[in-house]
Structure formats: C-alpha cells, structure tokens
Amino acid sequence: MKNCPDWLNESIFYEVYPQSFLDTNGDGIGDLQGVIEKLDYIQSLGCNAIWLNPCFVSPFGDAGYDVSDYRKVDERFGSNRDLVRLFNEAHKRGMKVTLDLVAGHTSIEHPWFKASAQPEENKYSNWYIWTDSAWTESTAETPLIRGFSDRNAAYMPNYFYFQPALNFGFEEPDPDKPWQLPTDHPDVMAVREEMKDIMRFWMDLGADGFRVDMAASLVKSDPEMKGTIAFWQDVRAMFDTEYPDCVLIAEWSFPKHALQAGFHMDFMIHFNTEAYTALFRDEHKRDGFGTPGTLYGDSFFDRSGKGDVTRFLRHYTEHFEATRELGYISLPTGNHDLTRVRCHRSMAELKVIYAFLWSMPGIPYLYYGDEIGMSYIPGLPSKEGGFGRVGSRTPMQWDESRNAGFSTAKAEKLYLPLDPSKKRPTVSEQEEKPTSLLNHVRALSALRREYPALGADGDFKVVYGKKGRYPLVFLRQLGEQKILVAINPSAEKCTIPLAKKYSQLDVLKKSGVKVEQVDRKTELVMSGVSFALFLIHA
C-alpha cells in the first residue's frame, strides 16, 4: 500500500500560470481573485487539485522562479490574505491547492543573497555557494558568476545568472576547495531548516503541499543523488509527522529517484529519460519550440505514424515497476516550460492524446488552456525570462468578449498578447458543443472516477506495443475490473488480432474503432487517429 494522503489517488490536477489565467482588477495580469472565481470551472473539468505557479514576491526575471520573499504573495497577484481565501474556497469545494516551491535558488534581490554578497562575513555568507576568490574559473560542474560584488568570491547560479544556488552542501566536496561545504555544515543545515520552515508557513495557512522546482538540483557533486535524496527524505519525514495530508511533488523527471527521496509523485517530462519526449515532444529536439510548418521528429503521437512507442514504454515501465509501491508518476498534458501539446495537432489528435493520458496510472495534470486546445503562439518577444516558452503562456481564452474575457485592460497592457487567430478556441464556444475537446476532457475525468481500474492505482500491462508499429493497446486492472485501452495516433488505419480473453468487450468510450469477428477470431480495427476504452467481461 502506498503511504500517500488518501485524496491523492483520486486527484486530477490543473496547472494555473496565474499571470495568464484571469485578471479581475483590470491591470492586464491575472490574479488570485481570478483563480478563486474560476474554481467552479476548474472543478467542472473533473479537476480537484491545483498546482499554482510561483506567486511570491519576485523581480520576475524568470516568471517568479526567482523569489525574493518566500513568505509573501507578490502584489501583482494580491496578498497573503487572498491566497488563504483561495485555500479556503478550494477546500469548501473539496479541492486542494499546491504551491510552487523554488527550493534550489532565490533571486539576487533576496535579502539573504544581498547579505551574502557583502565582503564582511555575516550570518548569510555561506547560505549561497561562493568560492574563495573572485577569480575562480567556472567548470562544467561548478559554473560561476564573477564580479557581482566586492566580496572576493564568485557564486554559483542554479539556472539563470540571477538565480544563485542556495547552499545545500556538496555530497563529495573537493578537499582542495574548502569553499565546497559538506552537507552537515551548520550553515548548510540552517538553509535546510529555513526551507522546511517556509513549507510549514504555507501549510499552516492551508496549502496542501508543493510542486518542487528542480528538485534534483539541490546538493552539488552528488553523482548518485545520495545527498539530495537524503535531504528530501528528511523533508518527507516532516510531512509524515506534521502534515500527513499534504503532498510533495517533484520536478525531477526520474521517478525512481524522486519517489525514493520521499516525493509522493514525480513528473515524467522532457529531461532525464526520453520517455515523455518520445510520446509528443520530439519537436523540442528539432526546432526548440515547435515552429509552425516545421514537421517535428518522430513522436509516437504524430499522424505521420513514424513514432516508436517502445522508446516510451521502456523507460515508463521500468520506473512504474520500481515506484508503484511508493507513489505516482504523472504524464502532464504540458506545462509552462513546454510547447503546447496543440502545436502541429488537430483537436481530433488531442482527443486521442487525452484518452491515453486519462487512462494511464498515476495522476493526470492538465495545463491551463489545454482543455480547449489553446495554440502555441510562435515568435513572441521574450517576457520575464520565458524566451520560447512564452508562446505557451498566453492569456486564457474564456469567451468572445474583450481580450477573450481574460482582462478588461487595453490590449497593449496585457501580460502577454492573446492568440491573434480569429478561430482561437474559447471555453464558452466549447461549452456549447457536446463533441468539443472541453467536453471530451470532462467525459474522460468522469470515466476515470467511475472505473477505478482506469485510475491512479490500477495495474498497467502492455497488450500490443511494438517497435515502430501502431496501435498501442494496454490493460488497466484493479481487482476484478479490467479495461482495455487502444490508441492509434497515426493517420493510417491499423488492424491487430485480439486474444480470446479480450473478445467480450463493452464500449466505455470510442472514436473510429471497431471490434470484428473474422473466421472466429477477434480483430481490433482502428481508423486513423482513433481510440477506444473497453470494459472487459470476465
């Protein structure tokens, strides 16, 4: 039995990038009141939990992933009181709210960093990784920024130059570099305790846990991740004793490590294994952020039919088997760093992808706007360190009113421009159409709840998944309940034989799929871009 909060296995998450969700005060930027006003909408999708991207005080060099006060909501979004109201309003509806914890680095504007940059030794001198000379050369393992202040030292960034790495210590410190502090150094311990206190602060106010940014990045010189795993295990022990109903979610993308480290869940996304990329993000390899018109690589979910599902299955099944007793893997529709899943795809193709994602073990995550198939908007100037990522962060498209119902501000004041297409999808238009993507998502969420075999804890077995071949067919099972899921993203029709044990099938949901009896044998006939979910009779 997994030792996870009991709400987790029934959850479907919705990721809110708050800048772009709903602006209620007309300043052109989304706010917490906007999230509160849309809770019922989020719940109508079958989503009962939220991951809110960073909303804390920040100079927003990296969309808030450069925090300068961990205990205060940035005024662009509202106040701490508004965040507590969001927790309360969500809880009233039986929903959960998880925050984004940027544990590995702060902004250079953070008072701790400003103090640590001073030449005079003080409480914060060792809270970041500083060398012992301004002239220390960067290496691949220890990239360095030199000349930042009059402190005779260089600091280590964790991501962009303005995101200095907090000092969680070195697992294997180089004896010739005494500035590489061991993981049990008192100043390192102080940083660790502070991070735990920040988590306590928000959980005491009602947060239901955290998605941890770059969770694998904390301890340096840690080739086997032992130091990083030990830190998170300590955090998990705190959760188990003090906040057993709260969750720890990793951005690690290597579930075997993340779940061993005590996370309840890890995203399997575009780094560390090629599993996710092989499904529907090969465009990252080819052209960075999916330039329209450029045909991308060989994702399995590509109508060219050139993908190879075994690239995904190899990694996925290995991590699934290794972690099934510990927690969950999530394959999200997308996130604020990735090209939108809509890029290069039709709504029909998205329906097939979502049928797959909502039928997998673990926890589905829906990135805001993916439920209506919002497009990736190419060519936008960078905003707040987004670069190519901004095309996936444009304002939510609610309806046909001014600024698609996102904001009453003048168009030029919007955080990012809207999708300029006259045919851009909106929630209001899709609400009306029973066959819309939005209603497809709702139906899939309802099925997942009705049939526990399809849910987080059901077993997963590949029935048909061959190198370079379509379709993918797999079995989900919990107790006596068995569901067969068939997925054909390619534009080509495909037919496969089905074993006798799969001959008695009830359709739960399907599009473009037939089960035929030929010479007393059962065949699954799938037209191009099709899917089916069948309940199997015993």
According to the binding rule CB under 6 A, does residue 213 interact with ligand BGC?
A: yes
Residue of 246, 282, 298 whose CA lies nearest to 6 = 246
Do the beta carbons of residue 207 and residue 50 sit within 8 Å? Answer: no
Do the beta carbons of residue 363 and residue 51 sit within 8 Å? Answer: no
Residue with tokens 């992808």: 353
CA 388, CA 390: separation in Å to the nearest integer? Answer: 6
365 vs 470 by CB, closer to ligand BGC: 365
Instruction: Give Cα 21 to chain centroid, integer Å.
Output: 17
Residue from 39, 195, 214, 487 in contact with ligand BGC (CB under 6 A): 214
222 vs 251 by CB, closer to ligand BGC: 251
CA 159, CA 161: separation in Å to the nearest integer? Answer: 6
Residue from 65, 162, 252, 301 in contact with ligand BGC (CB under 6 A): 65
86 vs 214 by CB, closer to ligand BGC: 214
Cβ-proximal residues to 8 (8 Å cutoff; 6+ apart), any chain: 247, 264, 265, 328, 363, 456
Identity of residue 218: L
270 vs 324 by CB, closer to ligand BGC: 270
16 vs 39 by CB, closer to ligand BGC: 16
Residue with tokens 């770059």: 214
Smallest gap from Cβ 218 to ligand BGC, in A, equals 12
What is the helix (H) or strand (E) element at residue 226, kind and residue range? helix 226-242
Do the beta carbons of residue 301 and residue 309 sit within 8 Å? Answer: no
Number of residues that bind ligand BGC (CB under 6 A): 9
C-alpha torsion angle, residues 370, 373, 376, 382 (rounded to 10): -50
Smallest gap from Cβ 403 to ligand BGC, in A, equals 24
Binding mask 78-117 for ligand BGC (x = CB under 6 A): ------------------------x---------------
95 vs 214 by CB, closer to ligand BGC: 214
Do the beta carbons of residue 229 and residue 261 sit within 8 Å? Answer: yes
148 vs 252 by CB, closer to ligand BGC: 252
62 vs 171 by CB, closer to ligand BGC: 62
Binding mask 419-438 for ligand BGC (x = CB under 6 A): --------------------
Q: Is 514 helix (H, G, I), strand (E, B) or coil?
A: strand
Smallest gap from Cβ 380 to ligand BGC, in A, equals 16
102 vs 526 by CB, closer to ligand BGC: 102
Smallest gap from Cβ 253 to ligand BGC, in A, equals 9
Phi, psi of 141 (to 5 degrees): -75, -35
Smallest gap from Cβ 83 to ligand BGC, in A, equals 20
Q: Is 384 helix (H, G, I), strand (E, B) or coil?
A: coil
23 vs 213 by CB, closer to ligand BGC: 213
Question: Which 215-234 residues touch ligand BGC, going by CB under 6 A?
Answer: none
Question: Which 314-343 residues touch ligand BGC, going by CB under 6 A?
Answer: 336-337
Question: Which 143-182 residues touch ligand BGC, going by CB under 6 A?
Answer: 159
Smallest gap from Cβ 64 to ligand BGC, in A, equals 9
Residue from 15, 23, 62, 349 in contact with ligand BGC (CB under 6 A): 62
Do the beta carbons of residue 266 and residue 258 sit within 8 Å? Answer: yes
116 vs 163 by CB, closer to ligand BGC: 163
CA 365, CA 12: separation in Å to the nearest integer? Answer: 6
According to the binding rule CB under 6 A, does residue 266 interact with ligand BGC?
A: no
Cβ-proximal residues to 140 (8 Å cutoff; 6+ apart), any chain: none
Handedness of CA 466, 471, 476, 482 (dihedral sign): negative
Smallest gap from Cβ 410 to ligand BGC, in A, equals 28
Residue from 208, 251, 302, 349 in contact with ligand BGC (CB under 6 A): 251
Per the DSSP assignment, residues forming a β-bridge with 497 are 523
Do the beta carbons of residue 512 and residue 495 sit within 8 Å? Answer: no
Smallest gap from Cβ 382 to ligand BGC, in A, equals 12
Residue of 156, 283, 299 whose CA lies nearest to 217 = 156
Binding mask 353-392 for ligand BGC (x = CB under 6 A): ----------------------------------------
Name the token pair of 189.
């311990």
100 vs 222 by CB, closer to ligand BGC: 100
CA 263, CA 275: separation in Å to the nearest integer? Answer: 20
Do the beta carbons of residue 45 and residue 442 sit within 8 Å? Answer: yes
Instruction: Give Cα 118 to chain centroid, integer Å.
Output: 37
| Whether the bond into 471 is cis, omega within 30 of 0 | yes
28 vs 385 by CB, closer to ligand BGC: 385
65 vs 155 by CB, closer to ligand BGC: 65
Q: Is 531 helix (H, G, I), strand (E, B) or coil?
A: strand
What angle, rounded to 10 degrees, do the helices at 226-242 and 186-204 form? 40
CA 104, CA 214: separation in Å to the nearest integer? Answer: 7
Longest dimension (CA), the chain: 86
Q: Cβ-closest residue to ligand BGC?
A: 65
Smallest gap from Cβ 266 to ligand BGC, in A, equals 13
Smallest gap from Cβ 1 to ligand BGC, in A, equals 31
According to the binding rule CB under 6 A, does residue 55 interact with ligand BGC?
A: no
Binding site for ligand BGC (CB under 6 A): 62, 65, 102, 159, 213-214, 251, 336-337
